[in-house]
Structure 1
Amino acid sequence: MASSKIDFNTRIAPVLEALRALHHKYHTRSMERDPDVGKEQGVLTQDEVHLKRDLFESLRSSLLPSIKPHLSALLTALDLPRDAIQYPNPDIESILDILANLDQTVENAVQYINTAPLKPFGRKDPHDHHLGQCKTFRCFNLKTDISRLAIDIRGLFWTYIKLIESWNLPWDPTEDTTFRPPTPREQTLDCLQSIDRTIRRSQASDFAHLQAEWRAVGESFDYSLVKLANITVRHRKNSSVLREHVLEQSRLALPVNKLLRTLFHKISNTTTKNLAFTLDTELNSTTLDRLDTDPGVILHQCQVYAKNLEESHRANSMTDSSWSLRYRKDCLSKTVEPTVSLLELYIIPLSSGIDHPSLESDFKAWLFEWQGLWRTAYSRLLNAIRRAEEEGLYS
């Protein structure tokens, strides 16, 4: 038995060495910072535009799909059945070839997304409104997705390393697998799904991409709404002056958060019969970046404020400083209003065939009405905060 173990370890050693080298390589690359980030993207010539589109199309239609067969082949070669009597008998040369081909294919994808003029230096570009899916904003997102895929594949290499190492451990078919790490099959499925997801995202319209982000933001408002509602439910009569102020702010913050959730729900769900609209297809990357980023900033400010109110109510002491509260108020004002302005400017209502559409079917009219409600609700909240500041409750 000892000799068979030595023989197995000798045979499998090149595979372990290759897996460890690839894991280290992908880990090192994931930690590197791109020195070109932040540089000016520059205006492309017509030839560069054609080249950029060709590289983009080759990447998503050829290179990315070509990674999948190598992942499947590696699973077939290494995810072998095991029993208590003998070691698995993998085809070493075949596995080494598969690993080399997989690595080369991933390298080609990474090289393509980092090849000028496809390589993005950031997410913003004020001059690329005419580039469709090849805008800097979209290329940066594709590059990010490819980086995430490489991280997933790095995790797969680690799973195979642990699998091979486990072949030297005593085999116990009754072992509890409730808290086991992911299997190679599960990790491979994650990688395959990551590839499909990356391709789908690259094929989607700007509007579809933004809608996915807006939908996630809208759903995440439940966090702050639950915290604010809990404060109003738990509040007792004859509380301290501070807790009364926290209660007032919580009650006034509820409609503010509900209105924001309603806004992001509306703009991320355009399949309803009453509210049909689309997005201008010729937005530049700078505008797309703002429409993508600001909603997350809005959500974050609301969540932090709700959390601080919850902690203040519990501790009977304001956890927020006057400066940080003022910063969040300014930040919220400077993101909500511009976001609404951009939506008003670039959302295009689709024809409903109705001569006199109702408020629900006329998005521009609905947005105008929403903005009025938002300003009223937010003004009431600001007045409550101002009263608490005047009473010296904030440090």
Structure 2
Amino acid sequence: MSDSGMSSSSEIESVLEALEDLKERYMDPMFSRSEGPEKKEFTEDELDQKNRLFDQVQSTLVPLIQEQVDCVLSSLELQGDLKEEQKEPNFDVTCEYLSELDETLQETIKCVESAAIDIMPIGAHDHYLKRCKEFTSNQLMHCISNIIIHVHGLFVDCSEYIKAAKLASIHPDDLKRRGWALLMKRHIPISAAGCNHSTNKAIQRFQPGSDFDFIRDEWEERVEAYSNHLESLTKLTHHRIRRRRDRTPLRKHVIELARFTIPLIKLTRILSKKISSKNTKILPFTLDTELNSETLSQLYDNTETIEDCCRLFIRRLVGSYNRNALEHDQAEMRGKS
């Protein structure tokens, strides 16, 4: 959006109004399922219909979302190298693209909800449902929720930029307003990259394949957390106690515990890296393709549970050292370790 002039006020307000509506509509990316009775078994035709809906999302709707996001950004002259001087946005076309994107998002949500309707409760008897079992359908819904979160963020950033650019155009000599508009503009590529990443990931995950991909993603997200835990423990073990009176038995014991904990965290990080590796030759095992939702959910949820226990234990070590007193009580601290 150039500083030499702006489109008509009515065009700008139309785009801002459309963005405000979309921001409100997609603020909560939750899905709803039918409140009817859940089925314990499905006919072949029912499974075929669910798979067709998932295929439509993967091959048609998600790629269309990315294409329409690109069109919105292009109409606002917010693609490529974002220089300070740019062409005037085509706000009329922007409104059309936003409307089309809204329709595609609604159709995507409808397809995913329809495919997930009547999925039987999590249990030990849904292994044959493959992509339509409870665990997998929940993960696929999460992929679409992630897209909606990023697209919503893009709506917010575009709205804030247009507002800032409008004020900068009204006050061309105000360097602070100019700087703020440029700052808002720089947020756009970051949001756009998030949209692109989430759509690409959804396309990959909606393909019929291994449920291990979802578990691998969860382990991969924990690698950085374990690195942070190691940093905290290393700082604790290298902390210098300058005053003699501060060298208490408790603090020495905490440092000793931290030293013993470091190898465990390192091994857990190595395990996380191995499990999350895309190179299947590194893995010393394979995942049974016939696992049910109950087992898959345990493998998935335990990833977070393990990291949470590590984080809580390290936090209590650091807290106990700083306070020179056990946090909560010793029994609870030992139990969490």
Structure 1 length-normalised TM: 0.69
Q: CA, structure 1 residues 266+101, in 2 after alignment: closer, same or farther (shift >3 Å)?
A: closer
* 1:159 CA drift (Å): 2.5
* 1:111 CA drift (Å): 0.7
Cα contact 1:56–1:118 (8 A) shared by 2? no
Cα contact 1:118–1:139 (8 A) shared by 2? no
Q: Give the corresponding residue for 2:212.
A: 207
Q: Give the corresponding residue for 2:303.
A: 295
* 1:40 CA drift (Å): 5.9
Which is worse superposed, 174-183 or 39-48? Answer: 174-183
SS at match of 1:162: helix
Q: CA, structure 1 residues 119+242, in 2 after alignment: closer, same or farther (shift >3 Å)?
A: same
Residue identity matched to 1:111: K
Residue identity matched to 2:320: S
SS at match of 1:287: helix
* Greater than 4 Å deviation, 4+ residue runs: 32-37, 80-84, 116-122, 172-179, 235-238, 272-276
Cα deviation, 1:277-328, whole Å, max 9, x if unaligned, reads 3211111111111111102211111121112112211221111324532552
C-alpha distance in 2, partners of 1:313/1:134?
Answer: 50
Cα contact 2:223–2:273 (8 A) shared by 1? yes
C-alpha distance in 2, partners of 1:18/1:34?
Answer: 24
SS at match of 2:127: coil
- Find out whether 1:102 has 2:127 as its counterpart: no
Residue identity matched to 2:226: F
C-alpha distance in 2, partners of 1:253/1:193?
Answer: 35
Cα deviation, 1:309-367, whole Å, max 9, x if unaligned, reads 122112211113245325524xxxxxxxxxxxxxxxxxxxxxxxxxxxxxxxxxxxxxx
C-alpha distance in 2, partners of 1:155/1:42?
Answer: 38
- Could you tell me which of 99, 119, 142 is aligned with 1:144? 142
Unpaired runs of 5+ residues, structure 2, are none
Residue identity matched to 2:24: H
Q: Give the corresponding residue for 2:201.
A: 197
Q: CA, structure 1 residues 218+120, in 2 after alignment: closer, same or farther (shift >3 Å)?
A: farther
SS at match of 2:328: coil
C-alpha distance in 1, partners of 2:132/2:182?
Answer: 43
Which is worse superposed, 14-23 or 298-307? Answer: 14-23
Unpaired runs of 5+ residues, structure 1, are 330-395
What is the aligned length?
A: 320
* 1:8 CA drift (Å): 1.5
C-alpha distance in 1, partners of 2:217/2:52?
Answer: 26
Q: CA, structure 1 residues 316+89, in 2 after alignment: closer, same or farther (shift >3 Å)?
A: closer
Q: Give the corresponding residue for 2:221.
A: 216
Q: How does 1:27-176 map to 2 (within 5 A)?
A: 27=27, 29-30=28-29, 34=32, 42-79=40-77, 88=88, 90-92=90-92, 94-117=93-116, 124-165=122-163, 166-169=165-168, 170-171=171-172, 175-176=178-179
Residue identity matched to 1:101: E
Q: Give the corresponding residue for 2:9.
A: 9
Q: Give the corresponding residue for 1:308.
A: 316
> Which structure has the greater CA radius of gyration?
1
CA RMSD of aligned residues (A): 3.6
* 1:10 CA drift (Å): 2.6
C-alpha distance in 1, partners of 2:120/2:183?
Answer: 40
Structure 2 length-normalised TM: 0.79
Cα contact 1:43–1:127 (8 A) shared by 2? no
Q: CA, structure 1 residues 131+303, in 2 after alignment: closer, same or farther (shift >3 Å)?
A: same
Cα contact 1:112–1:118 (8 A) shared by 2? no
Residue identity matched to 2:134: T
Q: CA, structure 1 residues 82+242, in 2 after alignment: closer, same or farther (shift >3 Å)?
A: closer
Cα contact 2:7–2:88 (8 A) shared by 1? no
SS at match of 1:320: coil
Residue identity matched to 2:221: A
* 1:265 CA drift (Å): 3.6
Which is worse superposed, 166-175 or 107-116? Answer: 166-175
Which is worse superposed, 158-167 or 289-298? Answer: 158-167
C-alpha distance in 2, partners of 1:66/1:119?
Answer: 27
C-alpha distance in 1, partners of 2:181/2:65?
Answer: 31
C-alpha distance in 2, partners of 1:189/1:129?
Answer: 35
Q: CA, structure 1 residues 304+268, in 2 after alignment: closer, same or farther (shift >3 Å)?
A: same
Cα deviation, 1:170-198, whole Å, max 9, x if unaligned, reads 34697557982344444334322321121
